[in-house]
Amino acid sequence: GNSVTQMEGPVTLSEEAFLTINCTYTATGYPSLFWYVQYPGEGLQLLLKATKADDKGSNKGFEATYRKETTSFHLEKGSVQVSDSAVYFCALTDYNQGGKLIFGQGTELSVKP
């Protein structure tokens, strides 16, 4: 079945460092890909998405490109802030199962001043 694999956390960075969180997926067909962010004590917020190969999603300085050839959707940000500290989830839409989301295990990011 479809699945999503993220790099394990926690990831600890200093403020203004470059961020990469790896995400790879296994899927039949052409799923849409998402990054969600969960700040401490809150629900999930949609960060960005891409619906087809070579699409780049971007929001709040974060970017991710849908790479079909490597089945990847890595999240990047050029300069992280303390306020970016959160758990980040990569997910795909499983159209074979009614459009439900399949989530990766989540990557906790901690940014130190």
- State the residues that interact with another protein by CB under 8 A: 32, 34, 36, 42-46, 49, 51, 89, 93, 98-101, 103-106
Q: What secondary structure letter does DSSP report for 60?
A: T
Specify the residue, 14 or 97, whose C-beta has the smaller distance to another protein. Answer: 97
Nearest CB to another protein, comparing residues 31 and 80: 31
In DSSP terms, 67 is beta-bridged to 72
Residue 65 CB, shortest distance to another protein, in Å, is 18
- Determine contact, residues 48/62, Cβ cutoff 8 Å: yes
Per the CB < 8 A criterion, the answer to whether 46 and 64 are in contact is no
Min CB(105)–another protein separation in Å: 5
